[in-house]
Amino acid sequence: MNIIQIIEKKKLGYALTQQEIQFFIKGATDGSIPDYQLAALLMAIRINGMDRDETGWLTLAMAHSGDMLDLSVIDGVPVDKHSTGGVGDTTTLIVAPLVAACGVPVAKMSGRGLGHTGGTIDKLESIPGFSTEMGMEDFIAQVRRIRIAVIGQTKDLAPADKALYLLRDITSTVDSLPLIASSIMSKKLASGARAIVLDVKTGAGAIMRTLDKSIELAQVMVRIGADAGRDVIALVTDMDEPLGSHIGNALEVKEAIDVLAGRVQGPLLDVSMELGTQMLIAAGAADNALKARQTLDTMLVSGQGMEKLRELISAQGGDPEVCAQPSLLPQAKVVCDAHLKDAGYIHRMDTARLGYLAQRMGAGRTKKTDVIDPSVGFVLRHRIGDAVAAGDAIATVYARGEEDIAFAREELLQAITILPEPARPLKLVHAIVTPDGIIPL
Ligand code: URA
Ligand code: CA
């Protein structure tokens, strides 16, 4: 088989065969196809797309490019959740302990921050001592023992995705539906969960900005999962503004602790509960949404969810005292409020810009080798729909120095649109996508 002919075929808009896709993925994994040819093919796929069969074959080839985890020694139905990426999107730290507290095994493989979006692994590593690296046997043993483990992507899991993602990031080919769907689902299939709940974000801070595209992405991923014999459901949730109010690694851990302690309610808790509801149903631990929700509420109110987070932190080498005393988390050098100039109502937030602001302040990486500062970020004091007065604090900024404070103040004002006429709060969940169809909400 010849890679130039495969590139040529996709360039002209033809569908590739399963053999051609397998050849491409083998070459991406073992390095036998050079990056410039892989990049050319990725761009041809970005421009001309892939049909259902091609996308499915691509996902399977990528999933099988490395180890396929077998979680069958774990009792119960191992369930996973995955977000397509957002800002202030800290649901895993809330919902994973709540679901595990219900006895459902949560074997979670999470990612690091990417572009403007945060990652669960970076957040967890802000807890002093917490380690997200462990061997597969220890990972499975921990899930059997305490029903929960959260680790980073290992090098042996979907290595083709690792190679292709690096290239996509630097060749402007991230925003391709078949490439996103196969990237996410290859990792989910390889990591072994029987039931998968996807949180597909939509809006200004999401990988797909329009609702139509987000629903289409959800449908493609759900179909791939169903074809592979997994039980998959997707919620399409809002990312037109950050989900939680805290943005930045240690700040987001603190917010998750506050939610599990019952001190904070609102959209972050609500979306976490919606995801948890689907996870319990998918795992067979509840027959309907009402029962699932009641069980999760019990875990929250009784403190069993928080206790499970403590167990997770202890098991992975972290200091569980952060749960009782969040001030043990890394603290920023400088903390200052940012004030609004205009009065009115908050209409829009350029959520990606807010994510890039946190990244620039040190909460994310602009190069692979950058070291994250876990303490930095900001806490938004208002949401879309709120009435605000000139001089109100829009956010509290946590920074490494005065220069970053000044920059953050400017960016916050630029990213948030205030107009004189009233605005409505946003809807949180837009649709549920199952293998049988779309349920608009
Ligand atoms: N997250 C992934 O893992 N892959 C993508 O392509 C996009 C988001
Ligand atoms: Ca993420």
pLDDT, tens digit, for every residue of 404-436? 999 999 999 999 999 999 999 999 999 999 999
Rounded to an integer, what is the distance from CA 19 to the centroid of its chain? 32
Residue 115 is predicted with a pLDDT of 82
Average pLDDT of the residues of the chain:
96
Question: Do 291 and 144 fall into the same domain?
Answer: yes
Q: Are 91 and 197 in contact (CB under 8 A)?
A: no
- The preferred substitution site among 165, 196, 199, 209 for testing ligand 1, maximizing ligand atoms within 8 Å of CB, is 165
Residue 110, domain member (yes or no): yes
**CATH code for position 184:** 3.40.1030.10
Q: Is the pLDDT of residue 334 over 80?
A: yes
Residue 353, domain member (yes or no): yes
Rounded to an integer, what is the distance from CA 135 to the centroid of its chain? 23
More confident residue, 109 or 301: 301
Tell me which residue has its CA closest to atom 8 in ligand 1: 84
Question: Do 259 and 405 fall into the same domain?
Answer: no
- The preferred substitution site among 183, 207, 217 for testing ligand 1, maximizing ligand atoms within 8 Å of CB, is 183
Residue 378, domain member (yes or no): yes
Residue 237, domain member (yes or no): yes
Token pair recorded at residue 12 = 């002209």
Question: Do 208 and 354 fall into the same domain?
Answer: no
Q: Is-catalytic flag, 175? A: no
- Rounded to the nearest angstrom, the distance between the alpha carbon of 86 and the centre of ligand 2 is 7
Q: Is the pLDDT of residue 44 over 80?
A: yes
Question: Do 226 and 98 fall into the same domain?
Answer: yes
Place 369 in a pLDDT band, splitting at 50, 70 and 90.
confident
CB of 245 closer than 6 angstroms to any ligand 1 atom: no
- Supply the DSSP symbol for 348: E
| Average pLDDT of span 254-281 | 98
Residue 166 is predicted with a pLDDT of 87
| Average pLDDT of span 253-281 | 98
Question: Do 301 and 341 fall into the same domain?
Answer: no
pLDDT tens column, 139-159: 999 999 999 999 998 889 999
CB of 184 closer than 6 angstroms to any ligand 1 atom: yes
- Supply the DSSP symbol for 174: -
Q: How far apart are CA 128 and CA 131, in angstroms?
A: 9
Question: Do 221 and 267 fall into the same domain?
Answer: yes
pLDDT tens column, 185-219: 999 999 999 999 999 999 999 999 999 999 999 99
- Rounded to the nearest angstrom, the distance between the alpha carbon of 376 and the centre of ligand 1 is 25
Q: How far apart are CA 426 and CA 291, in angstroms?
A: 26
Q: Is-catalytic flag, 183? A: yes
Question: Do 314 and 343 fall into the same domain?
Answer: no
- Rounded to the nearest angstrom, the distance between the alpha carbon of 307 and the centre of ligand 1 is 31
| Average pLDDT of span 94-110 | 96
CB of 183 closer than 6 angstroms to any ligand 1 atom: yes
Residue 424, domain member (yes or no): no
Which residue range forms the structural domain that includes residue 171?
79-155+165-325+429-440
Residue 58, domain member (yes or no): no
Q: How far apart are CA 242 and CA 204, in angstroms?
A: 9
Q: How far apart are CA 407 and CA 402, in angstroms?
A: 9
Judge residue 362's burial from the number of C-beta atoms within 10 Å of its C-beta, 0-12 exposed, 13-18 middle, 19 or more buried.
Answer: buried
Residue 155 is predicted with a pLDDT of 85
Q: Is the pLDDT of residue 368 over 80?
A: no
| Average pLDDT of span 21-33 | 98
- Supply the DSSP symbol for 184: H
- From first CA to last CA, the distance across the chain in angstroms is 48
Residue 314, domain member (yes or no): yes
**CATH code for position 415:** 3.90.1170.30
- Rounded to the nearest angstrom, the distance between the alpha carbon of 137 and the centre of ligand 2 is 24
- For strands 195-202 and 231-238, give the pairing: parallel
**Residue that is written with structure tokens 């065969």 in the block:** 17
Tell me which residue has its CA closest to atom 2 in ligand 1: 184
Q: Is-catalytic flag, 187? A: yes
Q: Is the pLDDT of residue 367 over 80?
A: no
Instruction: Name the domain count of the chain.
Output: 3
Rounded to an integer, what is the distance from CA 205 to the centroid of its chain? 12
Question: Do 291 and 205 fall into the same domain?
Answer: yes
Question: Do 134 and 281 fall into the same domain?
Answer: yes
What predicted TM-score, i.e. pTM, was given to this entire model?
A: 0.95
Q: How far apart are CA 255 and CA 252, in angstroms?
A: 5
Question: Do 147 and 185 fall into the same domain?
Answer: yes
Q: Are 395 and 337 in contact (CB under 8 A)?
A: yes
Of 202, 206, 233, 225, residue with least CA distance to 429: 202
Residue 370, domain member (yes or no): yes
Token pair recorded at residue 46 = 């970005």
Question: Do 260 and 373 fall into the same domain?
Answer: no
Q: How far apart are CA 181 and CA 62, in angstroms?
A: 11
